[in-house]
Amino acid sequence: MPRTVDETARPSSERSKAQPAGRPAGKPAADGRSAPASDRPGSARVRKDGSVASGSRAAREAHHAAREPQRIAKLLARAGVASRREIERMVAEGRIALNGAVIDTPATILTSLAGVTVDGKPVEAAEASRLFLFHKPTGLITAAFDPAGRPTIYDRLPPGLPRVIPVGRLDLNTEGLLLLTNDGELKRKLELPSTGIPRTYRARAYGEVTQEMLESLSDGVEIDGIRYGPIDANMERRTGRNVWIEIRITEGKNREVRRVLEYLGLQVSRLIRTAYGEFVLADLPAGGVVEVRQHDLEEFRKTIR
């Protein structure tokens, strides 16, 4: 069972009436507003004046980080505005300013976000880190917006969430566990292959495959010039020519699971991410969201290399 609390999933009848929630500041909702952060027990906050609203370790770390000289890209990522890479693009586009003057480099050193604006809107100081588990249904883009107008994960998130960004991505037709956080630095650490955090999937595929073929992936494989690291794959069951396979990877390269199974001659008809590290999908319903307890998040962060 996932070590989580604060069920925020709503029945589909209510979700259909809700406005998109948790959208990053860089990609505002249709009405131009960011969803407000809700107050939760154990979730420390850094007030606008820089004071700490809670005595937890997370709050103390956020308070210390707010005063330590850092690159603006890192500060904005920590505040959950966007990833560092996206912030670098925003700087290049002239969308970030300090006291009215456009910033021309993401390496600008600051001690706080006082006076910083994104698209003309002030940026608030970082809150304590928060992590959510979201059961992404199929048919949603893992992005703040889609130029083609397809629905995104933010159209399905329930109201009341803080501004959140996804940890990694799930393809349009991939479902299952997607982590969301308000902390760009935490997002980066969770995504880095060097942390070795395993991602577990269940795939339904059509075709002939043996356990021996799956075990050959344990040494990694090169496909079309791309090297994929060790993959732990095991056959769960077979029904006719359809098989269910459990796959565990640690790199999370683009469409890695689908490409590896296609390399083995299989056609993937369904792909579900069931776990990301110690966080598991379990029986969380499609579209549902739960928040990781603050204590559990702090303990988990100690394990990240």
Please, what are the averages of pLDDT over each run of 10 residues along the chain (305 residues)?
42 39 52 37 37 43 62 85 86 94 91 91 84 97 91 93 92 97 90 91 96 95 94 94 95 92 96 96 96 93 83
pLDDT of residue 33: 34
pLDDT of residue 252: 84
SS3 239: strand
Strand partners, 133: 179, 290
| Element spanning 187, H or E | helix 184-191
pLDDT of residue 86: 86
Positive or negative CA dihedral for 55, 59, 65, 66? negative
Angle 84-92/184-191 helices, nearest 10 degrees?
120
pLDDT of residue 234: 97
pLDDT of residue 79: 82
User: Where do the domains of the chain lie?
Assistant: 4-15+130-193+287-302, 57-122, 198-276
The C-alpha atoms of residue 128 and residue 114 are separated, in whole angstroms, by 17
Q: Do 4-15+130-193+287-302 and 57-122 show the same overall fold?
A: no
57-122 classified as CATH 3.10.290.10? yes
The C-alpha atoms of residue 168 and residue 129 are separated, in whole angstroms, by 17
The CATH fold assigned to 4-15+130-193+287-302 is Alpha-Beta Plaits (3.30.70)
The C-alpha atoms of residue 76 and residue 82 are separated, in whole angstroms, by 7
pLDDT of residue 40: 38
Catalytic residue among 146, 171, 232, 296: 171
pLDDT of residue 102: 94
Domain 198-276, CATH = 3.30.70.1560
What does each C-alpha distance from 43 to 3, 57, 91, 166, 181 come to in angstroms? 16, 11, 30, 19, 13
pLDDT of residue 24: 61
Query: Is 224 designated active site?
Result: no
Per-residue pLDDT tens over the stretch 73-114:
888 887 878 878 889 999 999 999 999 999 999 889 998 888
